[in-house]
A and B are shown apart, each in its own frame.
Chain A
């Protein structure tokens, strides 16, 4: 009996040390991959940041309004943000490669899944950035045009245009990375539909007179003789 217990303990000990002997090299390899990956990611971060500074990336972002949005969201400057994204993407890639080396069944395929996820994430970021650029452009164009056309509440109108474009871009970005797809699409459809219905009711019930005046102005029944207006030239 004692001999059996001793044998079992001896076998368990052997198994344990065999496992350690098998895992240790893998752990060392994983640690090396992670360390080397950190160095490479750090070097890439600075290289990307230097390229962005040299190409006046921040100036371009300020022109298209991205810097203002980042500032509002308490995020760092565009060049810093991009270089940070590059750093984390590269290092996470190395981390997952290192984890894959350990051979844990539960973690198998993570690298493949990450490699499939990264392009979609990048596309989503591009969609968001484009959405911000287009939203800012549309906001400014609408504001200036509304002011010059004497439209009432020009800031409300332009703000609504910007909000709509941002919501659309956000929904598209979330759909791209397949996050809560059904919820996002349904919520977007409901919200968008509600806004359009509300506008239609408001305009139809409250804006009938205005619509009539606009149509009369553009399609007069009897063309009026030209009323002389003040000349600026």
Chain B
């Protein structure tokens, strides 16, 4: 049962007036004036075109915008040109925008969205990321459809990725989550997703709200929670994921710290599930992926390789306390030849698991453990991009699959050491 103190009296009145909904679209916002209008229009169009008979609510949980985002959400119309749309929904899609006054962050907003879904007995919940500029109306049925049809409790997104796109996901989070939880989830850091009310209610009852797990890593926590508690996972093929360019993007060390803290916290929370888990099972995917899109600038791979060599040398005294001798020898050898940098899959898998164990055992301050992994991650990324500089999408996909299998091979010994810790 939702904690009704999350919902103000005014909001409760609006929700009671709305009544039961079939689909709830949740949009957590913080200063997204430049993108939220298009997102709401896409959501509205998707509801009208694919769920014309469904009772729907677009619910915006705003965590303190000062650029007028809530007003834009309320006032956004489907069509700004004044032309009449050929198809019209049979039911009104309600729209509520409300401020959230608790702990700032996406975690708090998601909690409110789940509370509203629970109160309104929504059959399907779709959460959208307002930073994404490529949301289309087709994303709504892709994320809500499998839930409404009873095929899934959690629908994660799957995007076409360019070879150099999102290495933090492809090189680290995806293979680690797959090896640990035993599911082939391509996008564990789900920026947008669909879920059932049962899953939303389950999440509300967990005592992690307000802690570091949900404050910085609610997306990953939700995916891990679904996998660890037997909810049916699925993936939906969406289009490319293009992000808005904010004026001030957080620095990579901060982003890396947040992601790693979220991953490690989830693994500690769910270790009774993933430690005995065996080989991975396939997560069904609905829809077809379009071809990969080359998004964003290319990194300076040669520079990254040279920096990796220098950083491994500088961090050697710290790495000695974290890595085993064979792994440290392998990493040092890899760093010795930056011009022909090769950081193979098994070595990388061993590196990540040993860092994970060091984090779990707290051999030093945990923040130091995760920050020490950052240069090695950059080295691995550089090695992968160097190797696949001119590879096609199929070759890259095969290489990423091989990486995931390397993580799965490394897992049993890591699990044995984890139990001893």
* Chain A complexes with chain B: yes
Chain A residues with a Cβ under 8 A of chain B: 63, 137, 140-141, 143-150, 154-155, 226, 228-233
**Chain A residues with CB below 8 A from B374, complex form:** 148
**Chain A residues with CB below 8 A from B252, complex form:** 232
Cβ of B369 to closest chain A Cβ, rounded Å: 9
Tell me, in angstroms, the Cα distance from A137 to B169 when the chains sit together: 30
Cβ-defined contact, B365 with A230, below 8 A: no
Cβ of B384 to closest chain A Cβ, rounded Å: 13
Specify the chain B residue showing the minimal Cβ separation from A139. B317
Cβ-defined contact, B168 with A232, below 8 A: yes
Cβ-defined contact, B362 with A63, below 8 A: yes
Cβ-defined contact, A148 with B253, below 8 A: yes
Tell me, in angstroms, the Cα distance from A166 to B166 when the chains sit together: 43
Cβ-defined contact, A148 with B371, below 8 A: yes
Tell me, in angstroms, the Cα distance from A146 to B372 when the chains sit together: 11
Tell me, in angstroms, the Cα distance from A144 to B312 when the chains sit together: 11
Q: Contacts A155-B314, A233-B169 given; indicate if A148 touches B375 (C-beta within 8 A).
A: yes
Instruction: Name the one of B166, B255, B364 contacting A63, with C-beta atoms under 8 angstroms.
Output: B364
| 15 additional A-B residue pairs with CB within 8 Å, beyond A143-B315, A143-B317 | A63-B364, A137-B365, A140-B318, A140-B364, A143-B314, A144-B372, A148-B371, A149-B253, A228-B245, A228-B296, A229-B249, A230-B297, A231-B165, A232-B256, A233-B189
Tell me, in angstroms, the Cα distance from A227 to B365 when the chains sit together: 34
Say whether B247 faces chain A, with CB atoms less than 8 Å apart: yes
Cβ-defined contact, B166 with A231, below 8 A: yes
Tell me, in angstroms, the Cα distance from A150 to B252 when the chains sit together: 12
Say whether B88 faces chain A, with CB atoms less than 8 Å apart: no
Residue of A63, A144, A228, A229 ringed by the most chain B CB atoms within 10 A: A144
Tell me, in angstroms, the Cα distance from A94 to B296 when the chains sit together: 76
**Chain B residues with CB below 8 A from A140, complex form:** 318, 364-365, 368
Cβ-defined contact, B299 with A230, below 8 A: yes
Q: Contacts A140-B368, A150-B307 given; indicate if A232 touches B245 (C-beta within 8 A).
A: no
**Chain B residues with CB below 8 A from A154, complex form:** 314
Specify the chain A residue showing the minimal Cβ separation from B374. A148
Cβ-defined contact, B364 with A147, below 8 A: no
Say whether B298 faces chain A, with CB atoms less than 8 Å apart: yes
Q: Contacts A140-B364, A144-B315 given; indicate if A230 touches B296 (C-beta within 8 A).
A: yes
Q: Contacts A232-B167, A233-B166 given; indicate if A147 touches B375 (C-beta within 8 A).
A: yes
Tell me, in angstroms, the Cα distance from A228 to B247 when the chains sit together: 10
- Contact mask for chain B residues 166-207; partner A; CB cutoff 8 A; 1 contact, 0 none: 111100000000000000000001000000000000000000
Tell me, in angstroms, the Cα distance from A229 to B307 when the chains sit together: 17
Cβ-defined contact, B365 with A145, below 8 A: no
Say whether B243 faces chain A, with CB atoms less than 8 Å apart: yes
Tell me, in angstroms, the Cα distance from A149 to B254 when the chains sit together: 11
Cβ-defined contact, A144 with B368, below 8 A: yes
**Chain A residues with CB below 8 A from B333, complex form:** none
Cβ of B367 to closest chain A Cβ, rounded Å: 8
- Contact mask for chain B residues 349-378; partner A; CB cutoff 8 A; 1 contact, 0 none: 000000000000011110010011011000
Listed by A's residue number, 14 A-B pairs whose Cβ atoms lie within 8 Å are A63-B362, A63-B364, A137-B365, A140-B364, A140-B365, A147-B311, A148-B253, A148-B374, A150-B307, A226-B247, A230-B299, A232-B256, A233-B169, A233-B255
Say whether B309 faces chain A, with CB atoms less than 8 Å apart: no
**Chain B residues with CB below 8 A from A143, complex form:** 314-315, 317-318
Tell me, in angstroms, the Cα distance from A133 to B259 when the chains sit together: 28
Cβ of B260 to closest chain A Cβ, rounded Å: 12
Cβ of B318 to closest chain A Cβ, rounded Å: 6
Cβ of A52 to closest chain B Cβ, rounded Å: 20
Cβ-defined contact, B314 with A233, below 8 A: no
Tell me, in angstroms, the Cα distance from A140 to B372 when the chains sit together: 10
